Each structure stands twice: as structure tokens, then as C-alpha cells.
Amino acid sequence: MVSVTRAVFGDLPLGAGTVEKFQLQSDQLRVDIISWGCTITALEVKDRQGRASDVVLGFDELEGYLQKQPYFGAVVGRVANRIAKGTFTLDGKEYKLAINNGPNSLHGGVKGFDKVLWTPRVLSNGVEFSRVSPDGEEGYPGELKVWVMYTLDGGELVVNYRAQASQTTPVNLTNHSYFNLAGQGSPNIYDHEVTIEADAFLPVDEVLIPTDLTDCSEPDGRHRHHWSSLGWKAQLGHPHGDQTPGLPPAPPFFSFSFGDESTAHVSPAHSGKNCSPSTASLGEIASVQGTAFDLRKPVELGKHLQEFHVNGFDHNFCLKGSKEKRFCARVHHAGSGRVLEVYTTQPGVQFYTGNFLDGTLKGKSGAGYPKHSGFCLETQSWPDAVNQPHFPPVLLKPGEEYDHTTWFKFSVA
């Protein structure tokens, strides 16, 4: 049994509209979502003693969400994550987007989907928000009709995203909640145990764009990297089949096959040494094997960051499978017993450990949010995919429907 209530959360400046809050409650979870940016403002989860705590970062008042802040709890789009240099080309036409993250466009631009008022519709077990993104908004082509639906089922929060376009446009939608299973306001997430079911990840450059692997052609001229949207299956292999006698063995790669159409070969992490320079940009797809990004078995985050001398994560992990529901990630907080499992139909998940939080924002109940005080599991398509034809596609054409779902399942262990 799920109850849904609505109330006024606040008024936008200059009479721009009223923001409403929708509270979804089951016997295991309580979720507050506002119509500004489809934002999750609170998510209360019980610990092993039955005590509920709010496990998402955010603000008590609307004013907090209107200030410059790092997308706490919001739906981001039209394209989540980064697009290199804020440009892409479709059908021979170059589109220039709003630049808002160094040289790149991030999370839809200066005024993305997180900074607009959505139209709500109450459901029996949740709430659906909708809006129309006009042609040219933040530089994107075509009108886009968008629906985001939050529903509650026991200990599971389900988020469904749908979109329809009047002309071909990239679309990539996700929710940007920051979690801390010890409870929001806890100083860090170092005692969280993390698992991500991914054999490959995308290395990034200094501005967090997937690194250019340059030209990695086979001897017969075939590109080693090509993807289709049919689904993928990973296996370990070698780039040139049998090894040539007398020569050192070639490093292994991961082969992701899509039905009968195509295969993408994945290099070991940062292994572009086998490639010759090329003017074409190819984002590197690297194996997690033997790297800090191998999270296929549970790791305690703080110890793991120390062991590998890394500052944190802000990387796309390449998920296996098809567009069907699949396991993505699991986070366990031993102190409270809380467990978060994430399932999704998306091809990737951006694991972000709050590296840019600096404690200057004052959150709920006056909490400060320092570096590494929250983590995000942003299920989505891969960053800069509109400029990377070998990545899973992000283009939505007229007559098609974008339809993806992510499940956040909470329990105790």
C-alpha cells in the first residue's frame, strides 16, 4: 500500500509559478519529490533497528534548489553528462550548445531540465511529471515531449523516463541524487561497500571527456570499435586471434557482441600504445581488470581509494546485457545495515563520489556537505556519445520513443 500526498513547497521568484511537493510513502520508504526539476528532496529508509533516516543530500527550502548547486536529486537533460566542446553534428549541420562546464556542455546546459517547473499528475502509487522542451532549447534541435514517472513498491523506488521528438535529437535522461546510506549530513562515504557489475569503463581526460583512443584498425582496415543498439555480451579475447610465433603476446581485450550485427573490442585500461595516430576521435573503452575501476567484487570505498591513490570516481561504467532490466550496482553500509541495489535498462552508469563537494553549501538541518559526503549512481547513456559513433546510440528520431527505467531497491543486511 502506497500513499501519495501533495503540498506547496514554495513559490518561484517573479510569479513564475508554484512548486509542489509530492510525498510517496510505503511501509518501507518515504520519498519527497518536487515539481522543480523532478527533484528528490528526501528519501527516508529504515536501518536494521527499524529507525528511519534521510539518505539523500539536499535542502529544506526551495531557495536552496534555486541557487547554484550540484544537481542535488534532480532529473538532468536533455542530455545528461558531458558533450565535448558543446558541439555535435547531425545530418551535416553543426549544433552549438550552451557551455557550462569548462569547455563542455554538462547536464543539458545552463538551464537544463533540472531548472524548470514540470507539470505533475498524481498516480495511485506515485507521481508523473511532464514538460515540453521547445525546439532550440539550450541549442538542441527539435521539440521534445518528456515524461518522468516515480512510483513506489515496498522498498523499491522506480523511475521511468519517456520522450518523443519532433526531429532527430540526442536524449539522455537520469536522476542525480546524492546518497549517503549512513544518513545525509554524515561526513563521508568511506565506510560504504560498493559493487558495480561492469567489465569495462571509460577513461577520461583532464576535462572529464572520454579519452581519444585514436585509430585502432585491424590489419584489414576494419575498425576494432563499433557498437549497435541490439545488446551486448562480454568475453575475454585477443585483438588479432592467434598470436604470431616469436612475438610477445598481444594484450587481451573485451569483446562486446551485438547479435549478428557487430562487435566492439575493448582495450586494456590506457592501452592506446598499440594504436597509430588518427584525426578521428574514438573514445577509449577500457577493461577494469587490474585497475581501481574493478568493482565487480565488493570494496570498502575509503580503503579502495587509498590503495589505488585515486581522488574519487566520476566515470562511466559500461554495463553488460540488453535493454532489459539488469543488475547494475550494490552499496552496503555496514553500520546501519542499509543496502541500495540499482537495476536499469540503460547501457551505463556514472559513478560519482562527490569529488567537487567542498562543504560550502548548507544542506538539510544545516548539514555541511564536504568532499566525498555523498555518491551518485547515474544510470544513463555514455558521455559524449553523440560524438562517438562506436558508443551505444543516443539519437531519438521522430516516431520513436525513448523509454528507460531504473529501480532503486532498498533493504537491510
HEC secondary structure over the chain: CCEEEEEEEEECHHHCCEEEEEEEECCCEEEEEECECCEEEEEEEECCCCCEEECECCCCCHHHHHCCCCCCCCEECCECCEEHHHEEEECCEEEECCCCECCEEECCCCCCHHHCECEEEECCCEEEEEEEECCCHHHCCCCEEEEEEEEEECCEEEEEEEEEECCCEECECEECCCECCCCCCCCCCCCEEEEECEEEECCECCCCCECECCECECCCCCECCCCCCCCEEEEEECCCCCCCCCCCCCCCEEEEEECCCEEEEEECCCCHHHCECCCCCCECCEECCCCCCCCCCCEEHHHHHHHHCCCCCEEEEEECECCCCEEEEEEEECCCCEEEEEEECCCEEEEECCCCCCCCCECHHHCECCCCCCEEEEEECCCCHHHCCCCCCCEECCCCCEEEEEEEEEEEC
146 pLDDT more than 80: yes
Please report whether residue 224 resides in a domain.
Answer: no
Q: Is 402 annotated as a binding residue?
A: no
Please report whether residue 228 resides in a domain.
Answer: no
378 is catalytic: yes
- Choose, from 20, 193, 197, 378, the residue flagged as catalytic: 378
256 pLDDT more than 70: no
Q: Is 177 annotated as a binding residue?
A: yes
pTM of the model: 0.86
Over residues 160-182, mean pLDDT: 98
Q: What is the CATH number of the domain that holds 378?
A: 2.70.98.10
Over residues 375-392, mean pLDDT: 95
Kindly state the percentage of the chain with pLDDT values over 90. 79
> Residues with Cβ < 8 Å from 221, sequence gap 6 or more?
none
Over residues 301-324, mean pLDDT: 93
Distance separating alpha carbons of residues 172 and 402, to the nearest angstrom? 9
52 pLDDT more than 50: yes
Q: Give the residue numbers spanning the domain of 314.
A: 3-212+281-412
- Choose, from 107, 176, 192, 225, the residue flagged as catalytic: 176
Which long-range contacts (C-beta less than 8 Å, at least 24 apart) are formed by 231-236?
A: 231/258, 231/259, 231/321, 231/322, 231/323, 232/256, 232/257, 232/258, 232/264, 232/320, 232/321, 232/322, 232/347, 233/257, 233/320, 234/199, 234/200, 234/266, 234/320
Range of weakest confidence among 124-133, 156-165, 231-240, 366-375: 231-240
pLDDT at res. 249: 34
Q: In the chain, how many domains are there?
A: 1
pLDDT band at 296; cut points 50, 70, 90: very high
Q: Is 314 annotated as a binding residue?
A: yes
Please report whether residue 136 resides in a domain.
Answer: yes
Distance separating alpha carbons of residues 302 and 304, to the nearest angstrom? 5
Please report whether residue 89 resides in a domain.
Answer: yes
Cβ atoms of 5 and 123 closer than 8 Å = no
Short-list 310, 309, 308, 314, CA closest to 290: 308
pLDDT at res. 214: 54
Distance separating alpha carbons of residues 28 and 41, to the nearest angstrom? 17
Q: What is the pLDDT of residues 176-208, one digit of tens each?
A: 999 999 999 999 999 999 999 999 999 999 998
234 pLDDT more than 80: no
Q: What is the largest CA-CA distance in the chain?
A: 76
Please report whether residue 255 resides in a domain.
Answer: no
pLDDT band at 141; cut points 50, 70, 90: very high
268 pLDDT more than 60: no
Please report whether residue 173 resides in a domain.
Answer: yes
Please report whether residue 323 resides in a domain.
Answer: yes
pLDDT at res. 321: 66
275 pLDDT more than 50: no
- Is the bond into 30 cis (omega within 30 degrees of 0)? no
Over residues 81-85, mean pLDDT: 95
Distance separating alpha carbons of residues 105 and 102, to the nearest angstrom? 8
Range of weakest confidence among 187-191, 337-341, 389-393: 389-393
pLDDT at res. 323: 78
Range of weakest confidence among 38-52, 151-165, 232-246, 361-375: 232-246
Q: Is 81 annotated as a binding residue?
A: yes
The more confidently predicted of residues 172 and 242 is: 172
pLDDT at res. 282: 75
| Average confidence score pLDDT of the chain | 86
Distance separating alpha carbons of residues 47 and 56, to the nearest angstrom? 15
For residue 22, list its beta bridge partners: 6, 33
pLDDT band at 254; cut points 50, 70, 90: very low
pLDDT band at 320; cut points 50, 70, 90: confident
pLDDT at res. 187: 97
Please report whether residue 238 resides in a domain.
Answer: no
The more confidently predicted of residues 233 and 157 is: 157
